Amino acid sequence: MSRHGKPQQRQPLILPDAAPMGGGDGGRGDAATRRRRFVAFLAISVALVASYHHLAPAPASRYHALFLSLGNNDTAAAHLRALTLRPHVAGTEANAVAAEYVRAALSSFSFPTRVTPYSVLLSYPIHRSLSLSVPGRAAAFNFALVQETYPGDPYSEAAAEVIPTYFAYSASGSVAAEVVYANYGNTKDYEYLASRGVDVAGKVALVRYGNLHCEDMVRNARAAGAAAAIVYTDAKDFGGAGAKGKRKWFPDARWLPPTGVQVGSLFRGVGDPTTPMWASSEGCERVSVEEAMDTDDMPGIPALPVSARDAAEIHAALGGDAAPADWQGREGSPVYRLGPGPAILNLTYTGNDTMATIENVFAVIEGAEEPDRYVILGNHRDAWTFGASDPNSGTAAMIELAQRLSVLQKQGWRPRRTIIFCSWDAEEYGLTGSTEWVEENREMLSSRAVAYLNVDVSVVGPVQDPDNSSQTVYDSWVKSNISPLIGRLGHGGSDFSAFVQHVGIPSTSMGFGEGKGPGYPIYHSLYDDFVWMEKFGDPGFSRHAAVLSLQHDERHFRITAASIWGMMALRLADEEILPFNYMSYPVELEAYTKVVENEVRGTAISCSPLHNAIRTLKTAATKVNGERKELQRQLSSNQLKKDSMKIRSLNDRLMQAERAFTNREGLFKQEWFKHLVYGPSEQNDWESASYPGVENAIASARKENTTESWKFVQHEIHRVARAITQASVVLAGSLT
């Protein structure tokens, strides 16, 4: 999962009897929101909100039943072990080896495979140093900036290959300045510092991971005038509970060790920075590396990630007023102070921002009746370190899924529509591999892609006992302490972004666990290895290969990470009529419209265009839903042939309606993102915005507070209303 991270907001791909859905994704500032981002397998887009308590295959589909009966724990574990023997950052030899492993595995199932390379701008560290000077101390304290292995670590030798802790695309430079503590580094934190008279200009901002990803933290630090930034994992959030002095961490518990560091990318854009808005194909137009590094999407200041132990040294040397209670560390920690100083940090970073080759790996199962319709399954392969959870738990599940489909083929099954497996590269740098491929194939995908089903991290921890055979996946999910709401794929979290937000393809993103905070404390660190997964993420690999049980036709099947993913793919690939249902869309859009109304209360802005367009969409969705049911009845009674043009026409409308929510001009301030309903917040890439272009316009209007700026808000509302109306026209299937 990239910075981008994996956890939602989307659109309408909905299977019948949809599970309850919520509104926007909200922020990441509290535990409930973090859980909603990455809950038990379901983060869906568009019409793709499914009824997983009715996940069983149709009685006529013996192949679907066979699919569910296949798979075992040992297979998933073997693939994961092989994929995580070495750290494999994008652009390295080790990641090329991992690419070949995936290609060979898929090829062994007799699927046609291919590798598509791209030359893209990646970033690696050349030199890092950090020292702390405190008045009255004779010498500066030099930080080692090393994540420590532990006695008996089976990966200690391979750990020597891990790239030193750094932030990709950090500006190179040296800064020596006083430190200011800025909590989680959001705009409100800097506003608080200003209200207390704490000047950040020219200082080093010390911020901790929490409710923003690192690229937004560093961006906010730069906007506040900081000369550099230090980002750390606070023990309060990642170090576990327990009485002081009795806390345990990996390998004795799932928590991040004191020297653990969460690395990441500081690039706020998507794809190759040298080919903004177009594909990085051979012989293409490019901006120079210098031009690419000089955009607002890059951090512009030096920054380093550090451990909780290193940050504690810095906190101990800070003076100034005590920070507020909610800025403090865990119980028993020394008091956190705001600064500035008297501690002085001397930070030096030199990066190598260079063109490198990445490789996407593909395998194809060609459809029998509709080979020109694509059901696409994707997972990224590159990792900052070993990547046992992020992303190779998903890669292992994808290979297992493909293996099961190969068994079905040997039994005579062929999908109605084409299934494409995608192993993406360089997701961690900025969704690079998937973005370049989608940009290169945009028109083909726009006309042919049925849906995109993404798994980034398939398993990061338990939600409930997977061996409980008395209930379904959905039942277990609802009964767990995780929110039962399905989020929307509006954030910039993973490889679904190019599909849904750039092209308008219905998409899902799935995972099993609570998220990247307390549920996944070793995220992007040295300790995301096979041992952590085996001991804490998924003991016995029951959630990779046997998550929960599902009863159907008096038989019990083991539902796996691959099973849920695969059953969605099979339904989309095999059913005559696409299982999309747009009936919930108007309800969600009305909820989002109420959010906008609250934000513009007291102004002359009218949301009537949105309400009118949503009513039209509701009428169209009701009509097409009735049409779908009638055609299904005719199919069941043999009154209609499976290759009827009526079915093809209906499927085209169901598939294309999501595209109508996109606009070629893109979002205000975020032009690459074309979807006007679902997209990332301009203030926080990990947060979904309701009508993101409208949200951006409102934010600008509040700053400028001019007649023209508020007039532009009204214009953005009309743009969204027009898109909703266009979706209604597509669903209705008739010209105005």
Report d(CA 596, CA 605) in Å as an integer. Answer: 10
Is residue 299 over pLDDT 50?
Answer: yes
Which pLDDT does position 263 carry in this prediction?
Answer: 97
pLDDT one-digit tens code per residue, 582-609: 998 999 999 999 999 999 999 999 999 9
For residue 174, give the CATH number of its domain.
Answer: 3.50.30.30
Amino acid 488: pLDDT: 55
Helix, strand, or coil (residue 380): strand
Q: Residue 684 — very low, low, confident or very high, per pLDDT cuts 50/70/90?
A: low
Contact (Cβ atoms closer than 8 angstroms) between residue 493 and residue 1: yes
Residues 232 and 378 in one domain: no
Instruction: Of 181-195, 330-344, 383-397, 678-692, give the lowest mean pLDDT range.
Output: 678-692
CATH code, 667 = 1.20.930.40
Looking at residue 575, its pLDDT comes to 94
**Over pLDDT 90: what percentage of the chain?**
70
**pLDDT value at 211 more than 90:** no
Q: Is residue 406 part of a domain?
A: yes
Q: Give the pLDDT confidence score for residue 492 in this predicted structure.
A: 57
Number of folded domains in the chain?
3
Q: Tell me if 381 is assigned to some domain.
A: yes
Question: Which residue range is the domain that position 134 belongs to?
Answer: 126-353
Please give the structure tokens belonging to residue 490: 């509006």
More confident residue, 486 or 579: 579
Nearest to 328 by CA among 341, 315, 339: 315
Question: 574, 592, 610: which is the final residue of a domain?
Answer: 574
Among the ranges given (207-221, 419-433, 454-468), the one the predictor scored with the smallest mean pLDDT: 454-468
- The residue behind tokens 């909590």 is 183
pLDDT recorded at residue 376: 98
pLDDT in tens, 151-187: 999 999 999 999 999 999 999 999 999 999 999 999 9
Same domain, 388 and 409: yes
* pLDDT at residue 24 is higher than 70: no
Pairing of strands 141-142, 113-133: antiparallel
What confidence category does residue 563 fall into, taking pLDDT thresholds of 50, 70 and 90?
Answer: confident
Look up tokens 């945009």; give the residue. Answer: 442
> Do 207 and 238 lie in a common domain?
yes
Question: Going by C-beta distance under 8 Å and a sequence separation of 6 or more, which residues neighbour residue 40?
Answer: 463, 473, 476, 477, 480, 482, 511, 512, 513
CATH of the domain at 561: 3.40.630.10
Q: CA–CA separation, 454 vs 451, rounded Å?
A: 10
Establish if 726 belongs to a structural domain: yes
Active site residue 590: no
Task: For 335-344, write each residue's pLDDT tens digit.
Answer: 999 999 999 9
Does the pLDDT value for residue 13 go beyond 80?
no
- Please give the backbone phi and psi of residue 62, each rounded to the nearest 5 degrees, phi first: -70, -25
231-272 confidence digits (pLDDT tens): 999 999 998 765 455 789 999 999 999 999 999 999 999 999
Q: Specify the DSSP class assigned to residue 172.
A: P
- Over residues 194-201, mean pLDDT: 97
Please report whether residue 10 resides in a domain: no
Higher pLDDT, 71 or 487: 71
What is each CA distance from 198 to 155, 184, 338, 339, in whole angstroms?
45, 16, 8, 8
Confidence of residue 39 (pLDDT cuts 50, 70, 90): very low
Predicted local distance difference test score (pLDDT) of residue 76: 82
In a domain, 231, yes or no: yes
Tell me if the bond preceding 342 is cis, omega within 30° of 0: yes
Looking up tokens 């309400």 gives 611
How many other CB atoms sit within 10 Å of the CB of residue 553? Answer: 9
- End residue of a domain, out of 295, 322, 353: 353
Tell me what pLDDT residue 479 has.
58
Please check whether residue 314 is in contact with residue 329, taking contact to mean a CB–CB distance below 8 angstroms. no
Q: Which of 215, 370, 427, 599 is catalytic?
A: 427
- Statement to judge: residues 197 and 325 lie in one domain: yes
The region of weakest confidence among 231-245, 295-309, 453-467 is 453-467
**Among candidate residues 519, 541, 574, the one where a domain is terminated:** 574
Q: 133 and 279: one domain?
A: yes
Out of 60-64, 294-298, 506-510, which region has the weakest mean confidence (pLDDT)? Answer: 60-64
Domain-embedded: residue 8: no
What is the three-class DSSP state of 178? strand
Q: Are 349 and 365 found together in one domain?
A: no
What are the phi and psi torsion angles at 102 (to 5°)? -65, -45
Residue 206 has pLDDT above 90, yes or no: yes
What pLDDT, on the 0 to 100 scale, is given for residue 682? 75
Check whether residue 634 and residue 699 sit in a common domain.
yes
User: In the prediction, which pLDDT does 548 show?
Assistant: 32
* Under 8 Å between Cβ of 184 and 28: no
pLDDT score for 686 = 56
Given this model, what pLDDT does residue 595 score? Answer: 93
pLDDT digit string (tens) for 514-528?
555 556 899 999 999
Query: Taking all residues of the chain, what is their mean pLDDT, rounded to a whole number?
Result: 85
C-beta atoms surrounding 407 within 10 Å: 16
Looking at the structure, tell me whether residues 280 and 379 fall in a common domain.
Answer: no
138 pLDDT band, cuts 50/70/90, is: confident
22 — pLDDT class (breaks 50, 70, 90)? very low
Residues 505 and 401 in one domain: yes
Of 533, 495, 548, give the one whose Cα is nearest residue 79.
533
Q: Is residue 414 part of a domain?
A: yes
pLDDT band at 53 (very low <50, low <70, confident <90, very high): very low
In a domain, 173, yes or no: yes
Q: Are residues 531 and 669 in the same domain?
A: no
| 365 sits in which H/E element | strand 344-365
Average pLDDT, integer, range 127-145: 94
Q: Supply the pTM of this predicted model.
A: 0.90
Weakest-pLDDT range from 227-241, 316-330, 371-385, 547-561: 547-561
Q: pLDDT class for 18, splitting at 50, 70, 90?
A: very low
Tell whether 368 and 269 lie within a shared domain. no
Residue 559 has pLDDT above 70, yes or no: no
Residues 338 and 393 in one domain: no
Least confident residue range of 35-39, 104-108, 589-593: 35-39
Q: Which amino acid is at 421?
A: F
Looking at per-residue pLDDT, the higher value among 424 and 460 belongs to 424
CB atoms within 10 A of CB 587: 12
Give backbone dihedrals phi and psi of 696, rounded to 5 degrees, phi first: -65, -40
Please, which pLDDT band fits residue 457 given cuts at 50, 70 and 90? confident
pLDDT at 478: 55
